[in-house]
Amino acid sequence: MKNGKNNEFRPTGGGSAGKNAAAGRETRENRENREPRERRENREIREARENRETHENRTPREMRENREPRGGKNPPQKDSRVRKNTFVERDKNKNGGGRDKNNADGRKDTYVYVLDGNLYINLTNKCSNGCSFCVRNERASYYGNYLWLRHGDPTAEKVIAAIGGLGDIKRFKEAVFCGFGEPTYKMAELAAVADWVHAQGLPTRLNTNGQGNLINKRDIVPELKGRIDLVNVSLNASSAEKYQPICRSMFGENGFAAMIEFARLCKRNGVNCRFSVVDCIGEEEVAACKRLAEGVGVPLYVRKYITDS
């Protein structure tokens, strides 16, 4: 009914009937609002329980991979097949130290060693390749020198101190950066030690897999100029298709392409460079490697395969 004074509508059923209608409406509204909330709370409890069970069942590797970095959420993940293949390649590269790498717990790590009149420098265990023929697959030592570094990579100061402990180093033919890992993983240490060795009047050589630019994500060749007198790149095969099955680069077939480009950059920048292969790969493959080296413009060194160390 309309009230003449204020033109407001008033309920026609006054008294207790109006109150009961309002109470019924309130009860119905509360029930409608309460039910979604209860369902939502049950869903949140169920999801929390499922997340807890998933977390408890994850392996340590999965927990490391899924951990969020500080200050933000996980970056977008790549295709799972790519991640799986990457881990397979990295697992293949865990070819370190052979069976005896944990023996002789009290021994010191070997940073420098002497072989065939040369001074050899061992900077790291890290390597981007997992070569099937690598000596470290079977043992932690090389001609009696325990090269598997069990206490971390050395600083340049530790390496220089170890060299100084050998006395007059001018009796050596050259200083060779070559150990159980890829020396270009440690460019800062390599540069500092090479500068010190040069100051003592000793020539330097770098034995490398040629993947240093990929490892460091920059062109390292200018850093070698004036420090390394000879860069020896282990070619090992005449094509990426033949290289990858035996050298198993963590970069896939890009590792071979990067190695060839690295040699080209050395030649272009005036850094003395050569490829090397072992004679056991066969005459036909040696000839193919020689043609490849000629195309790049660097010489090929064919060395004997060492079967016993």
Q: Given this model, what pLDDT does residue 271 score? A: 98
**Domain definitions of the chain by residue range:** 15-68, 112-303
Output the six-digit token pair for 223: 């850093």
Return phi, psi of residue 208, to 5°.
-140, 160
Cα four-point dihedral sign 88, 92, 97, 99: positive
Higher local confidence (pLDDT), 18 or 41? 41
Q: Is the Cβ–Cβ distance between 150 and 205 less than 8 Å?
A: no
Q: Is the Cβ–Cβ distance between 306 and 132 less than 8 Å?
A: no
Of 35, 58, 55, give the one whose Cα is nearest residue 47.
55
> C-alpha distances in angstroms, 177 versus 54, 123, 190?
47, 8, 8
Statement: the pTM of the whole predicted model exceeds 0.85: no
Residues in CB range of 218: below 8 A, 6 or more apart = none
Please write the tens of the pLDDT for every residue from 56-102. Answer: 444 334 433 443 344 444 444 444 333 333 333 333 444 454 445 55
Q: Given this model, what pLDDT does residue 280 score? A: 84
Four-CA torsion 32, 36, 41, 44, nearest 10 degrees: 180
Q: Given this model, what pLDDT does residue 1 score? A: 46
Q: Given this model, what pLDDT does residue 285 score? A: 95
Mean pLDDT value across residues 35-49: 61
Whole-number CA gyration radius for the chain? 34
Architecture of the domain whose range is 112-303: Alpha-Beta Barrel (3.20)
Mean pLDDT value across residues 145-164: 92
Pairing of strands 300-303, 273-278: parallel
Best mean pLDDT range from 82-86, 105-109, 144-148, 157-161 = 157-161
